[in-house]
Amino acid sequence: MGLNDFQKQKIKFTFDFFLDMNHDGSIQWNDFEDMMTRYKEVNKGSLSDADYKSMQASLEDEWRDLKGRADINKDDVVSWEEYLAMWEKTIATCKSVADLPAWCQNRIPFLFKGMDVSGDGIVDLEEFQNYCKNFQLQCADIPAVYSVITDGGKVQFDLARYRELYYRLLTSPSADAGNTLMGQKP
């Protein structure tokens, strides 16, 4: 069974928002380079040289793994169609975060750090507001979305919560809390 239209829409969001940084309709290594530049800008240069080199090495690994899984015609370009086909196969057997592709699992801490600009391990409401603004998410009611993320203040928005929401964003067949990473309420 294939993905439903809602799942395809969410996968398209991850393609456009998290990977196709130059918006040319495909993923290539230069998108990862653009990602590093954007990350440094959003974090106001707080990235040390060692952190930058570590991030670059991690992104190189992610690119190799993504290409190996999705670049069907081996042209060093992952098209939307190739990306979607990879996710159709992945989601069919994915039961937990551990079943996500390695490149995707490796991306989770990197994306979380992009939100947690204070570096305290918790994304607070102000950081989430800045994230929505910096990445131009269309979010009509940021406090309400943040309330969904924190389950009304019952859970902290830490890396574990981000990991759970990211998994749900990618795999859930219907609207749920994973949508909050797109700035939307379920």
For residue 31, the model assigns a pLDDT of 94
Is pLDDT at 47 greater than 70 in this prediction?
no
Q: Quote the pLDDT of residue 2.
A: 82
At residue 75, the pLDDT reads 97
The Cα angle at residue 12 between residues 151 and 39, in degrees rounded to 5: 70
Q: What is the mean pLDDT of residues 30-52?
A: 78
Is the pLDDT assigned to residue 46 strictly greater than 70? no
Q: Are 134 and 128 in contact (CB under 8 A)?
A: no
| pLDDT, tens digit (0-9, with 9 covering 90-100), for 71-106 | 999 999 999 999 999 999 999 899 999 999 888 888
pLDDT tens per residue across span 56-66: 888 898 899 89
Complete DSSP assignment for 53-84: HHHHHHHHHHHHHHHHHH-TT-SS-EEHHHHH
Higher pLDDT, 109 or 146: 146
Q: What average pLDDT is seen over the chain?
A: 88
Q: Region 25-46: what's the mean pLDDT?
A: 83
Fold of 5-182: Recoverin; domain 1 (1.10.238)
User: pLDDT at residue 143 above 80?
Assistant: yes
